[in-house]
Amino acid sequence: MGDSAGASRAYLVSDGDVLLPGPASQGPWGPTISGHVVGGILARALEQVGGAPGFVPARLTVDLLRPTAITPLEVRTTMRRDGRRIRLVDAELIQNDTVVSRASAMFLRRGEHPAGDIWSSPITMPPLPPDPGPLPDDLMMFVWGYGGQGESGGAMAFTEWHDATGPKYAWIRQVRPLVDGETTSPFVTVAMAADAASATSHWGTGGLRYINADYTLTLAREPVGDYIGLAATSHNSNDGIACGAVAVFDAHGQIGNAITVGLVNPIESFHPRA
């Protein structure tokens, strides 16, 4: 094996077909890899196989099947359809010969945009955050949250969500590469941010009580710039099962949506690191 990811600021180090996760990859639900890192790994693999000039990664679905240990892992991909206008790719994340997560992505070819207007519910993101200055070395990712109607100046992390009596918004910027020595692509960047659809839509007056079992991201276009914005649009829950939705933005406007389902979890098990 090569050098450990512990010596890198990246979440992972690539050693041939094996990915070596480092301490930074640990998520907020215990000593396991964060869902946003798992989503990034799968999106990276899907894009490597399905990405092509003229195609947009229009849909990504990630199923978080089992806790993923901070130990070596591999990704297995399968091209399901390689068409002129549609490409569909599946991926599985393998650890100790067990599938711990899986994903699928649909890539659609760009075409001539039709004339006319189509109604959509208006959603406005609060402004981009101010320059935060130097950030802590152990920060997982930079999150700037807004509560209420998004009319305040916002605050770092989840500070403004604690009353959770109104809408919630977040601007997210990755501060680490996913894989050491690689530039994280726009698709992988938004795929990682979309995991936070769960926190954005499910955070309530009792804090975050739901751990997401999946998420689906849909995109009309890829993001531009470093910041990904999430605006909670709905939450429904019953008998410990929740479903939520967010609108997804970059600095230029809305680019898509994300939905997620979750299971109730003890409040003391959540330890945010953003």
pLDDT in tens, 141-166: 999 999 877 677 788 887 778 777 78
Of 108, 124, 78, the residue nearest 187 (C-alpha): 108
Q: Tell me which of 212 and 150 has the higher pLDDT.
A: 212
User: Measured at the alpha carbon of residue 255, what is the angle toward residues 103 and 106, in degrees to the nearest 5?
Assistant: 30
- Lookup result for tokens 């390689």: 82
Distances in Å between the Cα of 14 and the Cα atoms of 26, 58, 112, 192, 211 are: 17, 27, 39, 18, 28
Q: Tell me which of 8 and 198 has the higher pLDDT.
A: 198
User: CB burial class (10 A; 0-12, 13-18, 19+) of residue 178?
Assistant: buried
| Amino acid letter, residue 38 | V
The proportion of the chain whose per-residue pLDDT surpasses 90, expressed as a percent, equals 77
Assigned superfamily of 5-109+124-269: Acyl-CoA thioesterase, double hotdog domain (2.40.160.210)
Q: For residues 199-229, b (16+ Cβ closer than 10 Å) or e, as one string? A: bbbbbbeeebbbbbbbbbbbbeebbeebbbb
Contact residues for 164 (Cβ-Cβ < 8 A; gap 6+): 147, 203, 204, 205, 207
The whole-number pLDDT of residue 23 equals: 92
Q: How far apart are CA 89 and CA 188, in angstroms?
A: 15
Query: pLDDT band at 132, cuts 50/70/90?
Result: confident
Question: Do the beta carbons of residue 234 and residue 257 sit within 8 Å?
Answer: no
Q: Tell me which of 151 and 170 has the higher pLDDT.
A: 170
The three-state secondary structure class of 2 is: coil
| Amino acid letter, residue 166 | G
pLDDT mean over 57-83? 97
Provide the residue ranges of all domains of the chain, joining segments of one domain with +.
Answer: 5-109+124-269
Between 118-132, 143-157, 199-213, the lowest mean confidence (pLDDT) is in 143-157
Query: pLDDT band at 96, cuts 50/70/90?
Result: very high
- In the predicted structure, residue 1 carries a pLDDT above the cut 90: no
Q: How far apart are CA 156 and CA 214, in angstroms?
A: 26
Q: Tell me which of 205 and 258 has the higher pLDDT.
A: 258
pLDDT mean over 162-182? 90
- In the predicted structure, residue 5 carries a pLDDT above the cut 50: no
Query: pLDDT band at 6, cuts 50/70/90?
Result: very low
Contact residues for 116 (Cβ-Cβ < 8 A; gap 6+): none
The whole-number pLDDT of residue 184 equals: 97
> What pTM does this model have?
0.93
